[in-house]
Amino acid sequence: MSTVHVYDTTLRDGAQQEGLNLSVTDKLAIAAHLDDLGVGFIEGGWPGANPKDTEFFRRAHDELDLRTARLAAFGSTRRAGARAAEDPQVAALLDARTPVVTLVAKSHPRHVELALRTTLAENLAMIEDTVSHLVAASRTVFLDAEHFFDGYALDPAYALEVVRTAAGAGAEVVVLCDTNGGMLPPQVGQVVQQVARDTGARLGIHCHNDTGCAVANSVAAVQAGATHVQGTINGYGERTGNADLVTVISNLQLKLGHPLLPPERLARAAALSHQISEITNVVPYSRQPYVGASAFAHKAGLHASALRIDPDLYQHTDPALVGNQMRTLVSDMAGRASIELKGKELGYDLSDRPELLARMVRTVKDLELQGWTFDAADASFELLLRREVTGEPLRYFDVESWRVITDSGSDSSLSEATVKLVAAGERQVAVGEGNGPVNALDHALRQALAVAYPELDKLELIDFRVRILDASHGTDATTRVLVETSDGSSSWETVGVAGNIVHASWLALIDSFTYGLLSQGVEPR
């Protein structure tokens, strides 16, 4: 495999993202996923700095069975005026019992003098003493040279001396950090190349994304000679985040030929990205390069016509290489090729049914003119297509009527919904309460269908979005509702459009429940 280190800092630097809070159990689960992907190093946190990270390393020693990755503990050099052998923070790094220790050290003169409140000479002594102490204790040491690029611009001689001191004391890699995230690729490439030439040290790169260039800067650094690249899954991190490690790996491996991961492990990237999103409770970014749901999604009819002939005509790489897949979006831009491709994606061969294709194109365009949208509601489109193919709608139940009443008190309100329907040959009348009309309808519909279709119990509504389509009409405007539902292992979106927000929600709910039953292979009863 490649000599370039893949170093993940999701559990430490990524966890500093606003609103992201990982438990020890979360961190252990993420570490297992990272090892499954095949990264070389996992930075677990800062032992001694907070109880949670100390507990993580204690449990990781007994509970993590890493097959590919080596665990790294993160910490700082010793305090000014002390000795590394007597510094409790340095001792905590050894107590973490990790094979690798990553030290952060100042490489910017003003940070040394103003933040550490010590001299430039003492900062170098702190680096030398701490690195040599940890190496003597049989640890592999990486040194993160904090604020390196800004420090190099201010005083290149001192920044270079930090690199030489760390390498001379035994640090295996000196990582050049764009801590403020302000660099651009040409600057990064030039500095990395010059530092490698002047020091002979093995260099790494750690980029933040404040200019939107963290991935590009990381790639530029490797092209300039860095052989160790740091980042976080999904680009997590404070402010605008860190370099997205999945994108960095994919670019280096698929575009530049660095064999960072075995192909079968890179093919797990999309699944891993979403698995970690579930653990962090951060909604996946659909337009994330390579692994996002929209990364290989095609909407324009012109694209679809070409993709039907050769998928490579409008795709920069094979999505299967990262575990993703091509998707065709159906909208008012759709032509016959879009519908045919989408049908094939859903398991319907429409290549010899030109009349049905033409009818579907007209139907989609007419519905979208009324406000419906299917590029964000694949499940509703599949139900529509199935109706056209079979000649009749899929009916698991027949709705007789529904209604919602909302009672408002002085400081709260409660909605009550009544649903009357026939399922499995039996008439059902159910009443549900909720903290809003849609929540009440959801409860009532589930209750009415519980006997006939117990499979619905595993379905959960996970997102609900409302769009006012003709705002000039005020409260009388047409409303579009998108509902996302999950069965615990996958999710789907359905759409409803009506002049009444509750009616639009009801239509989306009906499609959601119908698709949920269809996807489980349930036959109408």
- 322 shares a domain with 208: no
Question: Which residue type occupies 20?
Answer: L
- 176 shares a domain with 314: no
Least confident of 197-206, 231-240, 303-312, 449-458: 303-312
Separation of alpha carbons 245 and 162, rounded Å: 26
For 132, other C-beta atoms within 10 Å of its C-beta total: 16
Residue burial 394-418, b: 16+ Cβ < 10 Å; e: rest: eebbeeeebebeeeeeeeeeebbbb
Separation of alpha carbons 491 and 199, rounded Å: 52
In this structure, is residue 346 part of a structural domain?
yes
Q: Which residues contact 281 (CB under 8 A, 6 or more apart)?
A: none
- Is 297 a residue whose pLDDT tops 80? no
Nearest C-alpha neighbor of 243 from the set 220, 271, 223: 220
- 308 shares a domain with 269: no
In this structure, is residue 356 part of a structural domain?
yes
9 to 241, 359, 398, 456, 518: CA distances (angstroms): 12, 52, 53, 40, 41
In this structure, is residue 361 part of a structural domain?
yes
- Give pLDDT tens digits for 17-58: 998 999 999 999 999 999 999 999 999 999 998 899 999 999
440 to 403, 420, 448, 488, 495: CA distances (angstroms): 10, 14, 12, 22, 18
- 307 shares a domain with 273: no
- Is 341 a residue whose pLDDT tops 80? no
In this structure, is residue 379 part of a structural domain?
no
- 307 shares a domain with 214: no
Structure tokens at 56: 């993580």
- pLDDT score of 336: 64
Least confident of 198-207, 357-366, 412-421, 450-459: 357-366
Separation of alpha carbons 135 and 131, rounded Å: 6
Nearest C-alpha neighbor of 379 from the set 248, 494, 267, 299: 494
- Give pLDDT tens digits for 417-433: 999 999 999 999 999 99
Section 122-147 average pLDDT: 97
- 406 shares a domain with 357: no
- 306 shares a domain with 233: no
- Percent of the chain having pLDDT more than 90? 68
- 422 shares a domain with 355: no
Which of 173-177, 294-298, 337-341, 521-525 ranks highest by mean pLDDT? Answer: 173-177
Query: What is the pLDDT of the chain when averaged over all its residues?
Result: 89
Separation of alpha carbons 229 and 244, rounded Å: 11
Domain boundary among 369, 385, 413: 369
Residues 207 and 252: beta-carbon distance below 8 Å: no
- 413 shares a domain with 337: no
- pLDDT score of 1: 46
Domain carrying residue 443: 398-519
Nearest C-alpha neighbor of 74 from the set 54, 52, 97, 44: 44
pLDDT band at 332 (very low <50, low <70, confident <90, very high): very low
Element (H, E) at 187: helix 185-199
Phi and psi, residue 278, nearest 5°: -65, -40
Separation of alpha carbons 261 and 245, rounded Å: 12
- Give pLDDT tens digits for 375-386: 668 888 889 888
Domain containing 145 — which CATH number?
3.20.20.70
Q: Which residues contact 120 (CB under 8 A, 6 or more apart)?
A: 109, 112, 113, 158
* Helix locations, 451-491, DSSP H: none
- pLDDT score of 423: 95
E-assigned strands of 213-269? 228-231
User: What pTM, to 2 d.p., does this model score?
Assistant: 0.71
In this structure, is residue 437 part of a structural domain?
yes
- Is 155 a residue whose pLDDT tops 80? yes
In this structure, is residue 227 part of a structural domain?
yes
**What's the burial of 304, exposed, middle or buried (CB within 10 Å: 0-12/13-18/19+)?**
buried
- pLDDT score of 324: 83
- 86 shares a domain with 20: yes
Separation of alpha carbons 254 and 377, rounded Å: 31
The better pLDDT of the pair 350, 235 is held by: 235
Structure tokens at 323: 């575990």
Nearest C-alpha neighbor of 144 from the set 193, 75, 82: 75
Domain boundary among 280, 311, 334: 280
Helix (H), strand (E), coil (C) string for 339-386: HHHHHHHCCCCCCCCHHHHHHHHHHHHHHHHCCCCCCCCHHHHHHHHH
Tally of domains within the chain: 3
Residue burial 137-156, b: 16+ Cβ < 10 Å; e: rest: eebbbbbbbbbbbbbbeeee
Domain containing 425 — which CATH number?
3.30.160.270
- 170 shares a domain with 40: yes
- Is 154 a residue whose pLDDT tops 80? yes
Domain boundary among 253, 280, 307: 280
- Percent of the chain having pLDDT more than 70? 92
The better pLDDT of the pair 226, 360 is held by: 226
- 311 shares a domain with 273: no
Nearest C-alpha neighbor of 139 from the set 105, 169, 176, 106: 169
In this structure, is residue 63 part of a structural domain?
yes
- Give pLDDT tens digits for 351-393: 788 888 788 878 877 887 788 877 668 888 889 888 888 888 8
Q: Which residues contact 47 (CB under 8 A, 6 or more apart)?
A: 53, 54, 57, 73, 75, 92, 93, 95, 96
Least confident of 71-75, 329-333, 375-379: 329-333
